[in-house]
Structure 1
Amino acid sequence: MQPTLDTGYWLGLAISVVLPVLVGLVTTRVTNPGVKAVILLFLTALNGFLVELSQADDGYSVGAAVILWAVSFGTAVLAHFGLWKPTGVAGKAQDVGSKSPVRSV
């Protein structure tokens, strides 16, 4: 019998791919990259610990949650630099909500 991953783990992995775009939506282009990294680190930690909580039928494992956090952060960073930044989605996400100057005629 082969071990399989539960749906919660797959959902957590999918969320990890989208988290860099979420960071772009809540920050601007002038936000320090270190601040963006800390926000991403926090969101991936939240993702990892919530995924483990959703799968904790036999008990909650902090070790498993930390591993999920590391996998989530790694996946998010790879998705940012490998998918979202080269396609321009990361830049577009940071432009959402920014006000362009209104020119009077």
Structure 2
Amino acid sequence: MTITLDRAYWLGLLLSVVLPVLVGLVTTRVTHPGVKAVLLLVLSGATGFLTEMAHPGPGWDAGTAAVLALVSFGTATLAHFGLWKPTGVSGAAQDRLITARRAG
């Protein structure tokens, strides 16, 4: 039995690993974690559906796109807590583009 994955699936998986950093770039440290989670979920959904569109197979399948979106969200969550947060990349990304407004 041979299992092969098309290039589109590999690119989708790679993008899923980078998504938490992208969320960090557009949020701040004071952004509510629920907002960050919803943003990650939306980006993961878009990744799953776009990955299925990029798949060179016969036609677009909504079921496969939904599974890819769930895999993308799971991969992004694991990458955030297992790779980006412990190494400090998440915090650095949140300090990079958007800064919190100072009160007063």
- State the TM-score, normalizing by the size of structure 1: 0.90
Give matches, 1:1-105, under 5 Å: 2-55=2-55, 57-97=57-97, 98=99
- How large is the RMSD of aligned CA atoms in angstroms? 1.5
Identity, in percent, stands at: 64
Structure 1 portions without partners, runs of 5+: none
Moved more, 72-81 or 51-60: 51-60
Q: CA deviation at 1:56?
A: 5.1
Indicate the SS of the match to 1:65. Answer: helix
Q: Deviation of residue 59 (structure 1)?
A: 1.3
Partners of 2:64 and 2:10 lie apart in 1 by 15
Q: CA shift at 1:58, angstroms?
A: 1.0
Q: Which runs of 4+ in 1 moved over 4 A?
A: none
**Using the alignment, how far apart are the partners of 1:54 and 1:22 within structure 2?**
21
